[in-house]
Structure 1
């Protein structure tokens, strides 16, 4: 049981183990802080347990993928906490393979089932890159510099006799790891694709108080028009565009501003395909139509 929970082995040399530690730290903390935490911040608690739950827009996306039994809230909550806790565990190197496995499943769903044309080999959606990164961590394990390795071997009298992971060439493995790390950094700080659903009489707010500007390319896939507005950090709000069904717009938003996507319909859900290019993590939340400022 101990080996099953804390499966870990040293890599061929300590330099590769150190590089692997940096990769784990970057990937795990990026997922926890960039994907999981924003969905757990300033959100209403689940009524029964008073635990921070997923936002409505994320629940709708999960339901749209068919995860409705026993409830889309259950699966959305599991996904959000899986991103946050799983990312932290990967960074710490604790239950690493199990954490990476569940995240690999999550990003498999996003990368290959969510998009209508996922392009499995040549598609460069960053979700696909993350899927393969978690597959690699599941296969390789946490390495020497991890809590799994320490817990598995703390009672061992001869750690050096433990098996190591055999890689073809340390130089090749290190170079491949460096490329993967750089690619993950570029993608996480670059482009995000999202299939967004906005409930009737709700507005989706992207960003606000961030240090840099960002661009949103929005395509209206739904049957109702969507108003796009900009809410500057200093206050106020002004219109940028109205997206009719089947129309597309590319808009740049200033540093500190929030993009407000408003569904004024009282009985129909809006659906947008978004491509967001930004230099840092953006907050995401849903509000009633007409709210002028984000509630802290």
Structure 2
């Protein structure tokens, strides 16, 4: 029944890339990026959970950049796997921060879910409708 739908695999990946990448740019990354040093420090303090208590502004800025630029790369399918890995790390840190703060599972679940999507992206690749495929013939 669903056997013939597998021929649309790459279209499904493209639709997913556009939706998830847009979410990272508009809802998460860009808002953090324009938040400035005060906002960056707030997010960068999450690194204290890993014993890294220096340069919180830098770490927060890197989280904002990884979500904004990473979202663009996810949409384009350019450097797709490295972008997915970078966002995975950002989401892992975010999930751990929520967990360490004692936040309810409803708040911790989102970064965990997004981290799982990034792992999926890392393994399946960007598909044939991507810049990676056009340049290097990799999915």
Same structural fold, with TM-score higher than 0.5 when normalized by the shorter chain: yes
The C-alpha deviation readout for 1:63-94, integer Å capped at 9, x for no partner, is: 2531433x112111111111100001000000
Matched, 1:103 2:103: no
Q: Which has the higher strand share?
A: 1
Offset at residue 124 of structure 1 (A): 6.7
Greater RCO (Cα-Cα under 8 Å, separation 6 or more):
2
Which residue of the partner structure matches residue 148 of structure 1? 132
RMSD: 2.7
- Which of 6, 13, 31 is the aligned partner of 1:20? 13
2:43 and 2:59 in contact (8 A); partners too: no
For residue 31 of structure 1, what is the aligned residue in structure 2? Answer: 24
The equivalent of 2:73 in structure 1 is 89
CA distance in 1: counterparts of 2:92 and 2:103, whole angstroms: 11
The alpha carbon displacement at 1:111 in A equals: 1.2
TM-score by length of 2: 0.80
**Any unmatched runs of 5+ in structure 2?**
none
CA distance in 2 between counterparts of 1:82 and 1:13 reads: 31
Please give the alpha-carbon distance, in whole angstroms, between the structure 1 residues aligned to 2:62 and 2:46: 16
Q: Note the residue ranges of structure 1 that are not aligned, 5 or more in a row.
A: 1-11, 44-53, 154-161, 165-296
1:125 CA drift (Å) = 2.0
Which residue number corresponds to residue 60 of structure 2?
76
Q: Which has the higher helix share?
A: 2
CA distance in 1, matches of 2:46, 2:74: 29
Structure 1 stretches (4+) deviating beyond 4 angstroms? Answer: 117-120
SS in 2 for 1:65: helix
SS of 2:113 mapped into structure 1: helix
Q: Deviations over 1:201-255 (max 9, x none)?
A: xxxxxxxxxxxxxxxxxxxxxxxxxxxxxxxxxxxxxxxxxxxxxxxxxxxxxxx
Tell me how far apart the structure 1 counterparts of residues 83 and 46 of structure 2 sit (CA, whole Å). Answer: 25
- How many residues align? The count is 131
- Whether the 8 Å contact between 1:39 and 1:55 is mirrored in structure 2 is no
TM-score normalised by L of structure 1: 0.40
* Distance 1:14-1:145 versus aligned 2 partners, 3 A rule: farther
Residues 1:118 and 1:38: Cα distance change in structure 2 (over 3 Å): closer
